[in-house]
A and B are shown apart, each in its own frame.
Chain A
């Protein structure tokens, strides 16, 4: 089985969970004897350290068996807003003095990626096309039209998840088109499948659910006791500080916790369009000294942040899956997650609340911080549970989907 896969990021440079998920999936597919050609946008020429690393990602293809990474010239990167896209175009234009080479808007850029995809589809040898989220859907559709091969559209996050309901119509239309042009849709959770069927009018039997996974090595973690932990309880938010992730609900719950126990520090790790709002809101709520901001973290700092915390909270208002709680468990940090998440379907050792129920959230936070028995149970059982996860199973499910669409094609 040979797959032509369109993505847009891949570790070591990734700004969200999608790159990590693609990497895991691709590794799992390799173990299932599936050959993958992974196509992703790249920027040639120096932009900044981060972008350089992004390009270098292509070098890691050698590390995974059965994987070939191809980069095509494009500016696409995850979580771009129209505004940040404009800034990026300008920055690159200054550097390479050839602004016309890139599309003027993020939508044109997606179209440009689709043009590049046709070329790739004509030159590569594959049985099925697999693409991830809206920016690659046009590429997937174009590749399908030119090659006649079946298309699988994987949905990691819908426009409804990202925006909390204030959709960008263009993106919604593109997602919808992808789902309908696809031979099969893969959703990362039942929660997401529900959104796809309900909001996009996709028949129930066209959507397969493949939960994400994580794969942790058993290497022992360096024992590190952060000084702050000896004097305060620490509750962590880690992720993009944007409406989808529920940072405001985290703050409102923090206010309630601090009414009862002023000795708790709430730490935000990550940046995003709601960061300034959260800083100002914390000050306004009178808890400015108990809400700290760590900024965007990378690599080992992420593990340090988890280990600094007594509790990890993921209050997302809509989380198709959500890998971070599993990473927290791996680091021995108990988790509290919103029920509006895919991960809550697969993890047992977690406190689960509705994101909007700040009273319950605050009560649960206080309880786990002051109940050592429950804390230890959540931590130990959670860590044991999460070590059982692996990508081979989801990859095997994807392979079943490939075989199904290829069989259907043969009919």
Chain B
């Protein structure tokens, strides 16, 4: 018995524009709207629209086919404004009943690392939006970039979620297999679903690699690999960016044909099935407790936080933006609070990464800046501008009217 669980991450950030020192305090826009719109439209045409169409087709062809998504709040925002047809096609998928939507932080942030309060607020915003758009109340949580540890599991269980997703990182699993459901050590009754990174990355990263000895990857071959888990696991979690289909792997690589054939090939084996995360949790009890003290993530070969907090620039930018939380919220100005939240998006810090080795290419993808240092410079100028916006809001004690007796 092998249950295949597909989860696709769907996200586009509000990329920041080049923001100079002389832009500070001039009411200049923080975001490169032109670029953000054009990237969204490009990816919609290459991935979101055709991939959603494919998923709809597959659900019609195979009523057993299931899939799950996590859409960042700011992705849905941008779709609503610039590509409503994308949002409509996700609604269509939701209506099939075969699709589960997960919760995450609305602004695709690493807020959990700095402020539990802000983290919970961003998750609440997201939950509300999923309810509004898709009529579902998510039961399973996935944190930004699959960042996870014991403490997060504990907090998320307290928020009412039944399950949580994480990377099946070797350094926490050791001899254990990612193909079972686990229970995080700090929770009483929560399911932990781990990404099978080998099989996931075979599709997400290696699919079109001519250097790979398994090239070309056929649906038949991949289904065989999945089937070999029979007897040595209960579920195979294939977690990846949705942009894999059609954007990271272009249509000409044959990725659409592969995905189209995959459910048929997997279902050929009588013991195989597709399940959403909630269905996996209902079907399989945790096999063991897992103790993950240090943060893990699904990024880079390190599977840790170093993609966002690997150098001093990233640490400074992240620290100083979250340090503004109280001042920002004290303004009670929804516009300022939303601007600040958009700055907490993890991509802003990802662009400042200086690990230009095996993962450099991934970091450069969609990166609007020439150098990581430029990303930092613009970010800090914007932060200063935000400080000014906050200061403008602050009522100076002397200007307060003297209360009448």
Contact = CB atoms under 8 A, between A and B. Distances in A.
Nearest to A304: B22
Nearest to B311: A280
A52 B270 CA distance: 73
A284 B381 CA distance: 17
B25 A294 contact: no
A226 B381 CA distance: 14
Given A283-B312, A284-B312, A294-B21, A265 B26 contact: no
A275 to B, nearest CB: 8
Contacts of B377: 279, 292-293, 295
A226 to B, nearest CB: 7
B391 A231 contact: yes
A288 B384 contact: no
B19 to A, nearest CB: 10
B240 interface: no
Contact of B376 (A231, A283, A284): A283
B320 A289 contact: yes
Contacts of A232: 384
Interface in A301-357: 301, 304-305, 308
A31 B20 CA distance: 41
A301 B384 contact: no
Interface in A263-294: 265, 267, 269, 275-276, 279-280, 282-284, 286, 288-289, 291-294
B30 to A, nearest CB: 15
Nearest to A305: B21
Contacts of A269: 21
Nearest to B377: A293
Interface string B302-325: 000000000111011100100000
Given A283-B316, A288-B317, A292-B377, A231 B25 contact: yes
Contacts of A308: 21
A305 B373 CA distance: 21
Contacts of A289: 316, 320, 380, 383-384
B387 interface: yes
B10 interface: no
B91 to A, nearest CB: 41
Contacts of A293: 21, 377, 380
A111 to B, nearest CB: 35
A232 B317 CA distance: 19
A280 B320 contact: no
A227 interface: yes
B116 to A, nearest CB: 23
Interface in B260-318: 311-313, 315-317
Contacts of A80: none
B384 A292 contact: yes
Interface string B1-26: 00000000000000000001110111
A280 B384 contact: no
A12 to B, nearest CB: 21
A200 to B, nearest CB: 38
A95 interface: no
B388 interface: yes
A279 B388 contact: no
B313 A279 contact: yes
Residue among A230, A265, A291, A292 with most chain B CB within 10 A: A292
B313 A227 contact: no
B391 A267 contact: no
A228 interface: yes
A280 B24 CA distance: 21
Nearest to B24: A228
A140 B26 CA distance: 51
Contacts of A228: 21, 24-25, 384, 388
Contact of B316 (A275, A276, A286, A295): A286
Contact of B388 (A227, A267, A288, A292): A227
Interface string B348-379: 00000000000000000000000001001100
A3 B372 CA distance: 49
Contact of A279 (B20, B26, B376): B376
A295 B376 CA distance: 13
A228 B381 CA distance: 11
Contact of A292 (B21, B26, B311, B391): B21
Interface string B385-402: 001100100000000000
20 contacts: A226-B22, A228-B384, A230-B25, A265-B384, A275-B373, A276-B373, A279-B313, A279-B373, A279-B376, A280-B311, A282-B316, A283-B315, A283-B316, A283-B376, A284-B312, A288-B320, A292-B21, A292-B384, A293-B21, A293-B380
